[in-house]
Structures are given as structure tokens and as C-alpha cells.
Amino acid sequence: MTKHVSMEVPRSLRCFGSRLIAANGLDIAEWVLLPGMCFGAKDAWWDDGKARPHPHEGIDLALYRNRGGRVVSLDGTTKVPLAAPGEVAVRRKDFLGESLFVRHGLFDEEDRELFSLYGHTRPGPGVFPGRFLEAGAILATFADVSGRGKGLLPHLHLSVAWIPRSLPPGVLTWERCTRGNDVVLLDPVGILEGRDLVTSLRRPYDGV
Ligand SMILES: [Zn+2]
């Protein structure tokens, strides 16, 4: 079994949310995660909340509440910044766009390396395996998901994991990185540090 732990996201990644806000000029009062967007969720937030095949391996960023009180969707122009310096290890198509796995050169006491994993993106020019990127670099934009699923919104799937140094990039699939028994998967919600977060809204967005 993969270890799902509540260990906090390492400090170097916690500014991701702030960088996302700055890179896109968002007028944000608080982030909104529907229950199915949270780490460990058993059900999806689209297709009438169908059961997920596995507990959610990360969080889905798609919604925020603006300062006027409205719940707003991020769209396909949303830029995805890099929180901490890292090297692109994997770029691979996924079912809504492309996935990028970034290694951060930080190791735990069991020789596992810190990775941030991004799903459903359109990578920017020059973002390919082996490329080293500085903090704040734009990795990608959100993929356009129109017409792909009932109630599906453009969103970024983000996972944070400690992955054994011994694994070559060629074997780093979502399956291997999030469900391998030697991988430690973290709840990435700490990347939204510094902002309020709502996880209790349901569609149509009640409490707005
Ligand atoms: Zn997801």
C-alpha cells in the first residue's frame, strides 16, 4: 500500500498558490475545493460524483471565490508556475492533456526525492525532460477540457510525493508515482498556504 500521510508539504513548495495567484492576476478571496477535489476523495466531482477508481492522489485546482463573493472557474489560459526550482523528469500525455513530473533535488532520510506532479496541462515551449527550471518559471497552462465530461472544469491536478532515487524516469507513471508501496504521497493542500480555503461547497455553489 502507498503511504498516505498528513506530513506537511515541504516549505519550498508552499508558495505555489501565491505564485499561481500572481502569475494570473487572480482577484481571489479564498480557494474553493469541492469535496471530490480534495486529497483522498473517494468520489469524483464531475459525472454526477461517480466513484473514483482509487482515492484521489492529490488536489484539483479549478475554483476560487473572488472578493465580490462569486465562485469563479479557472480557465484554459491559467498559467501554472513552478514553486521551487526543479528538473522536468517526465512529460507524458494524460486523458485530458499532458502531465509533467518535476524533481526538486531534495531528499529524505530514506533517499527518496521530492517531486511535484502536474496533470491536465499544456506544457509551455521548452518544457521537456532534462530541463532545469527556476522557481516562478511558467511550466504550462491548464488544458482545455470542454466537452470531455459532464460538469468537468479546466483544472490542475497536483500531487506531491517522495519517490525513491533508484527509480529511473522511464518507469515514472502516475500509477507508479502515486500507488507504489515505496512512495510517500502527501496531501498537497499546504501549497495553498497563506489563503483561506473552503472545502464544504457543493454545486450549484451554495453559500455564495
Ligand atoms: Zn485530480
Instruction: List pLDDT tens digits, range 5-18.
Output: 556 899 999 999 99
Would you say residue 43 has pLDDT above 50?
yes
Task: Give the residue-averaged pLDDT of 52-59.
Answer: 95
Distance 201 CA to ligand 1 centre (A): 17
Distance 25 CA to ligand 1 centre (A): 23
> Over pLDDT 90: what percentage of the chain?
79
Task: Give the residue-averaged pLDDT of 170-183.
Answer: 91
Q: Determine the pLDDT at residue 205.
A: 72
Distance 88 CA to ligand 1 centre (A): 20
Distance 71 CA to ligand 1 centre (A): 19
Q: Determine the pLDDT at residue 104.
A: 97
Q: Does residue 139 contact residue 119 with C-beta atoms inside 8 Å?
A: no
- Find the radius of gyration of the CA atoms of the chain: 16
What is the overall mean pLDDT for the chain?
92
pLDDT tier at 195, thresholds 50, 70, 90: confident
Chain CA centroid to CA 126, Å: 20
Return the exposure string of 113-144: e unless at least 16 CB atoms fall within 10 Å of the residue's CB, then b: bbbbbbbbbebeeebeeeeebebebbbbbbbe
pTM above 0.85, yes or no: yes
pLDDT tier at 155, thresholds 50, 70, 90: very high
Q: Determine the pLDDT at residue 5.
A: 52
H/E element, 179: helix 174-179
Do the bridges between strand 112-123 and strand 156-164 make them parallel or antiparallel, or are there none, so unpaired?
antiparallel
Distance 80 CA to ligand 1 centre (A): 15
pLDDT tier at 1, thresholds 50, 70, 90: very low
Q: Does residue 120 contact residue 148 with C-beta atoms inside 8 Å?
A: no
Q: Determine the pLDDT at residue 93.
A: 96
Would you say residue 207 has pLDDT above 50?
no
Q: Determine the pLDDT at residue 206.
A: 59
Distance 76 CA to ligand 1 centre (A): 16
> Per the structure block, which three cell numbers stand in for 116?
511535484
Q: Which residues sit opposite 66 in a β-bridge?
A: 28
CATH architecture assignment, domain 3-198: Distorted Sandwich (2.70)
CA–CA gap between residue 202 and residue 175 (Å, rounded): 29
Distance 19 CA to ligand 1 centre (A): 20
Distance 196 CA to ligand 1 centre (A): 20
